[in-house]
């Protein structure tokens, strides 16, 4: 297959490396600034403008992994050619021009997959399975936490200049770390009510929110709580689902899911280590993208409407904390 990459920063390079493992593919990169360059010579060809797509006989799929603020406008230009789209999360920094993208996707029957790799994580899949099987009874509430130390992300870069550190580029912890919001919504349904508060201090000095506490009421009646931050040491990510008969617990750093019942605790091993499981999530995500390219009757696990719904919730959260 032939893939177009718009954005070959760290996440774009990861997607490309994963795709190389799935088959004999070729890669074209949009050259547009440092973050969209043919990083490390990974791509086979380069273009300087998306209009050059018309000169290619076939591009099977496009990966939009440039800065968040450019996602929607980039996707629109690619959609004009009817090319299947993989759009890295979040869908955008806002929903400007989303009607235009929706129209093109509908008119040209373009499959769209939003890049929520945690949906394919073996532990998240296991949690959803245990909930569906009623292992902990009726779910009442859930808690998720994600904490990371942004200044330590890339030692050779000024983190304050990254898109994740700047609200104008679609950064901030709410949009950059939208995974928790997404997978909780996939478990418990549409978000009907949101409350949020921003942490104080701005310890990282970024031009966006660095920490937030979120409460969401889902259509199912479940109340979920999310804590997100860019200042925590060490890295921490977990999920806890509380039901009438027990509790499901997952620590990202351990390849297992625990079910805590009244008289026993069950541990389900899901792999050898957290790094292996993360790699699996990215690989399964790209395999799914290839699947929906080959068969347009296959429903994407996180389609354009999912991305739009998640964005609407995220924008409500940002509005709650006065950042929108």
pLDDT confidence band for 165 (50 / 70 / 90): very high
The helix (H) or strand (E) run that includes residue 14 is helix 10-20
My answer on whether 128 and 258 are in the same domain is yes
Percent of the chain with pLDDT over 90: 90
pLDDT tens for residues 172-222? 999 999 999 999 999 999 999 999 999 998 999 999 999 999 999 999 999
pLDDT confidence band for 162 (50 / 70 / 90): very high
My answer on whether 67 and 130 are in the same domain is no
Domain that holds residue 7: 2-110
pLDDT confidence band for 317 (50 / 70 / 90): very high
Contact in structure between 250 and 258 (CB atoms under 8 Å): yes
pLDDT confidence band for 37 (50 / 70 / 90): very low
Contact in structure between 229 and 173 (CB atoms under 8 Å): yes
Cα pseudo-dihedral 297, 299, 300, 301, rounded to 10: -160
Read off the pLDDT of each residue in 149-171 and give the average, rounded to a whole number: 94
My answer on whether 311 and 208 are in the same domain is yes
pLDDT tens for residues 265-274? 999 999 999 9
Task: Count how many domains the chain has.
Answer: 2
**Residue 35 clears pLDDT 70, i.e. is over it:** no
pLDDT tens for residues 52-85? 998 777 899 999 999 999 999 999 999 999 999 9
pLDDT tens for residues 110-145? 999 999 999 999 999 999 999 999 999 999 999 999
Q: Is 21 helix (H, G, I), strand (E, B) or coil?
A: coil
My answer on whether 230 and 303 are in the same domain is yes
16 compared with 35, residue with greater pLDDT: 16
- What is d(CA 46, CA 211) in angstroms, rounded to the nearest whole number? 38
- Residue 55 has what pLDDT? 79
- What is d(CA 16, CA 287) in angstroms, rounded to the nearest whole number? 12
- Residue 32 has what pLDDT? 66
Query: Which of 110, 142, 170 corresponds to the end of one domain?
Result: 110
My answer on whether 293 and 201 are in the same domain is yes
My answer on whether 61 and 150 are in the same domain is no
We report the CATH number of the domain holding residue 42 as 3.40.50.720
**Residue 31 clears pLDDT 90, i.e. is over it:** no
We report the CATH number of the domain holding residue 199 as 3.30.360.10
**Residue 42 clears pLDDT 90, i.e. is over it:** no
Query: Which of 88, 110, 132 corresponds to the end of one domain?
Result: 110
Beta strand 61-64 pairing with 2-6:
parallel
């Amino acid at each position: 297959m032939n893939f177009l990459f718009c954005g070959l920063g760290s996440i774009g390079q990861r997607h490309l490396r994963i795709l190389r493992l799935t088959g004999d593919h070729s890669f074209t990169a949009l050259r547009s600034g440092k973050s969209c360059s043919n990083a490390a010579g990974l791509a086979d060809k380069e273009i300087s403008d998306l209009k050059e797509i018309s000169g290619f006989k076939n591009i099977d799929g496009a990966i939009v992994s440039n800065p968040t603020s450019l996602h929607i406008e980039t996707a629109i230009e690619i959609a004009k050619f009817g090319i299947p789209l993989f759009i890295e999360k979040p869908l955008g920094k806002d929903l400007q021009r989303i009607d235009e993208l929706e129209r093109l996707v509908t008119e040209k029957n373009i499959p769209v997959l939003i890049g929520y790799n945690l949906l394919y994580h073996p532990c998240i899949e296991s949690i959803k399975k245990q909930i569906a099987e009623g292992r902990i009874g009726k779910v009442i509430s859930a808690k998720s936490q994600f904490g990371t130390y942004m200044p330590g992300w890339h030692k050779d870069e000024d983190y304050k200049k990254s898109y994740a550190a700047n609200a104008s580029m679609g950064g901030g912890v709410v949009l950059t770390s939208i995974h928790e919001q997404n997978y909780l919504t996939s478990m418990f349904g549409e978000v009907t009510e949101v409350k949020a508060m921003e942490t104080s201090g701005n310890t990282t000095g970024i031009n966006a929110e660095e920490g937030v506490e979120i409460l969401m009421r889902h259509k199912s009646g479940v109340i979920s709580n999310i804590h997100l931050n860019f200042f925590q040491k060490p890295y921490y990510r977990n999920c806890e689902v509380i039901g009438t008969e027990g509790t499901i617990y997952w620590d990202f750093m351990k390849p297992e899911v625990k079910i805590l019942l009244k008289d026993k605790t069950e541990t389900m091993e899901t792999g050898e280590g957290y790094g292996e499981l993360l790699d699996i999530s990215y690989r399964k995500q790209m395999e799914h993208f290839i699947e929906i390219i080959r068969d347009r009757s296959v429903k994407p696990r996180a389609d354009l409407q999912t991305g739009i719904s998640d964005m609407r919730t995220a924008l409500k959260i940002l509005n709650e904390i006065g950042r929108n």
